Amino acid sequence: MKNIVILISGAGSNMATIIQAAQREHWRERLGARVAAVISNRVDARGLTQELGVPTQVVDHKAFATREAFDAALQQTIDAYQPSLVVLAGFMRILTPGFVQHYEGRLINIHPSLLPAFTGLNTHQRALDAGCKVAGASVHRVTSELDHGEILAQAVVPVVAGDTADTLAARVLSQEHIIYAQVIARLLQDEMR
Ligand code: GAR
């Protein structure tokens, strides 16, 4: 069985749609894969309160003096599941190069912009300020350079008159929910071949 581990920091809506896609599309039977665990760096992550039948764990970054110490503890927690894929779904921590290297080829992220535009934070407000006519989200492999790495899929949405960062974020998020599970299923399929 191929294990998927999802890392979250917040609402966990991407996490939920991935877990639901796995159930609905029978990933276990078709792809020999399951979401084995959800791990949060925040005790108060809203995503932890969703009852989705997947074990959850917390590795609280505030309990560690350095980024390296946190990443080492996180890595140990993840590796207990021997994951084929580690999925960052609104995981808001910068990862150390050692951590990223350890998961090379099996670590992916979703970012709320059309990369390489708008890496980092406040992507929607920055897209509005720049006068963009379209916005979107990107699923990409994680490298030690923030929000870089091979782009695996993108979704494009229009920017409409009167948009605020919140309305644009909601429009983008609804597309994130479609493309992230699709990419994961494709990667698992490729691995099966
Ligand atoms: C999503 O929009 C995701 O793209 C973004 O955080 C949100 C998490 O929502 N990720 C980043 O900004 C990573 N740099 P969710 O917790 O409801 O899935």
Q: Which residue has the tokens 């960062």?
A: 165
pLDDT at 192 over 90: no
Averaged over 55-84, what is the pLDDT?
A: 98
Mean pLDDT of the chain: 97
Q: Is 110 in the pocket of ligand 1 (CB under 6 A)?
A: yes
For residue 180, name the pLDDT band (cuts at 50, 70, 90): very high
Q: What is the pLDDT of residue 191?
A: 87
Of 104, 88, 93, 81, give the one whose Cα is nearest residue 34: 81
Q: How far is CA 135 from the centre of its chain?
A: 18
Which CATH number characterizes residue 67's domain? Answer: 3.40.50.170
Q: Is 168 in the pocket of ligand 1 (CB under 6 A)?
A: no
Give the three-class secondary structure for 44. coil
Annotated catalytic sites, by residue?
Answer: 111
Tens digits of residue pLDDT in 110-142? 999 999 999 999 999 999 999 999 999 999 999
Distance CA 98, CA 71 (A): 9
Distance CA 3, CA 136 (A): 28
Question: How many domains is the chain partitioned into structurally?
Answer: 1
For residue 37, name the pLDDT band (cuts at 50, 70, 90): very high
Q: Which domain holds residue 145?
A: 2-192
Relative to the CA of 47, which ligand 1 atom is closest? 16
pTM (2 decimals)? 0.98
Relative to the CA of 8, which ligand 1 atom is closest? 16
Q: How far is the CA of 9 from the centre of ligand 1 (A)?
A: 9
Averaged over 165-181, what is the pLDDT?
A: 98
